[in-house]
Amino acid sequence: MITLSQIRENPEQVIQRLAIKHIDAIATIHQILDLDDRKKTAQKKLDDNLSQSNAIAKEIGIIFKQGKAADADLLKEKSANLKNVAKELSSEFDRLKEELDALLVALPNVPHSSIKPGRTAEDNEIIRSSGEVFTKEAAPLPHWDLSARYDLIDFGLGSKITGAGFPVYKKQGARLQRALINFFLDQALAAGYQEIQPPYLVNEASAFGTGQLPDKDAQMYYVQLDDLYLIPTAEVPVTNLYRDQILKVDDLPVKNVAYSACFRREAGSYGKDVRGLNRLHQFDKVEIVQITRPEYSYRTLEEMVQYVTGLLEKLELPYRVVKLCGGDISFASAMTYDMEVFAAGQQKWLEVSSVSNFETFQSNRMKLRFKDETGKTALAHTLNGSALALPRIVAALLEDNQTAEGIRIPAALIPFTGFDFIK
């Protein structure tokens, strides 16, 4: 969530930036400032009251030690009166604090100054494209036809044992999937990331920390019996590893990579690009997470984009880098780049990675701080990105490398698959 000091220091700027995300925050921001003032006043009153009570308690302690217990009665009465007042002051303070927090938690992150105020994905800015979009076949097939032809993925079987959106990978399809996971992890390791294997279920505090709660609770599967959420991305457990921590400067940057299955309910998205692997309830993803000092976070963001496009180049996939506009950027993000690959069979660009800088939005929620060389503590910046999401990569690999004889495997992947052709 946005920090109070951010709002106090420059409320106009916060309002203007939120307008880029198409949020009219004028009333809310003024309400926040007003509540904050009232909260402070209430706190001062309460603190003064408690201070008096503390003094009296100490005095009574001394009297007791001197063995003059009877003399304490008057003070006791005085203290009791103070306590009655304190109760009211305290509940007033709590009420204001709750009201204030509720407003703060509901506000999305302030976008970076460079973010353009577009409405939809149509308005996103294409930063760069990798060369030509190739189509070797005259009439390339979509991956769902290819995976049926070569028996790689069985959607019907997944529906039978679970439901729609839970495909079963088979034979070379399953091996390709495993090869990609290993390839991505090895690449990340070589780039200096530390490997993590996180839990796939998280508690409420974790889901809140990265911003899934309370905003996107309909997106997560919830296990009611144990009050746990299935992770929609490894970002949630891997970032929350550092919740309530004060890191040393030497610990930064934290660079973690994790493979995990991801679970998304995708409520409300039925009928929209849901064919084949395009949108699933369960999918595999390798995620990179970084925690940096504020002054380095945007450099890190660019570096992460470079890293991800490097992967796409090794996979020989045509891609483009898209910078999201205000209307398309997520609740928690200050800046996001999407990487898209071209799937020849569908003649469509598919989003395979989303790399974001959250600045202090997540770290403020989870109290993730670092102590600089002068001994001052400050909120760290958090970033993450898919590197990469498997299903759409598989879709593009199948569609873009199809030939009449079968499907070619890119050279970089062959050591991991153990085969160079799908027949």
Partner RNA sequence: GGAGAGAUGGCAGAGUGGUCGAAUGCGGCGGUCUUGAAAACCGUUGACCUCUUACGGGGUCCGGGGGUUCGAAUCCCUCUCUCUCCGCCA
> Which chain residues interact with RNA by CB under 7 A?
4, 40, 43-44, 46-48, 50-51, 53-58, 60-62, 64-65, 72, 75-76, 79-80, 83, 246, 369, 371, 375, 377
Token representation of residue 139: 């009439």
Count of alpha carbons within 13 Å of 122, Cβ hemisphere only? 2
Closer CB to RNA, 275 or 371, in the complex:
371
The dihedrals phi and psi of 404, each to the nearest 5 degrees, come to: -65, -30
Token representation of residue 380: 């760290």
The dihedrals phi and psi of 291, each to the nearest 5 degrees, come to: -125, 125
Amino acid at 237: P
Closer CB to RNA, 73 or 313, in the complex:
73
Min dist CB 100 to RNA, Å, is 10
Q: What is d(CA 246, CA 90) in angstroms, rounded to the nearest whole number?
A: 29
Min dist CB 373 to RNA, Å, is 10
Q: 417 near 175, Cβ under 8 Å?
A: yes
Min dist CB 405 to RNA, Å, is 41
Sign of CA dihedral 170, 159, 343, 191: negative
Min dist CB 72 to RNA, Å, is 7
**CA–CA distance from 245 to each of 139, 291, 359 (Å)?**
55, 12, 16
Closer CB to RNA, 116 or 371, in the complex:
371
Contacts of 274 (CB under 8 A, 6+ apart): 165
Closer CB to RNA, 51 or 162, in the complex:
51
Q: Which residue in this structure is represented by tokens 């009877």?
A: 70
The H-assigned helical ranges of 66-124 are: 73-106
Closer CB to RNA, 7 or 188, in the complex:
7
Distance from CA of residue 408 to its chain's centroid?
Answer: 35
Q: How many CB atoms lie within 10 A of CB 107?
A: 20
Q: What is d(CA 415, CA 393) in angstroms, rounded to the nearest whole number?
A: 18
Closer CB to RNA, 60 or 107, in the complex:
60
Min dist CB 54 to RNA, Å, is 4
The H-assigned helical ranges of 138-262 are: 143-149, 155-161, 171-190, 204-209, 235-240
Beta strand 194-196 pairing with 254-263: parallel
Closer CB to RNA, 322 or 380, in the complex:
380
Q: What is d(CA 341, CA 350) in angstroms, rounded to the nearest whole number?
A: 5
Q: What is d(CA 264, CA 231) in angstroms, rounded to the nearest whole number?
A: 8
Closer CB to RNA, 376 or 423, in the complex:
376
Closer CB to RNA, 72 or 121, in the complex:
72
Min dist CB 260 to RNA, Å, is 18
Token representation of residue 157: 């079987």
Contacts of 202 (CB under 8 A, 6+ apart): 228, 229, 231, 236, 237, 240
Closer CB to RNA, 299 or 367, in the complex:
367
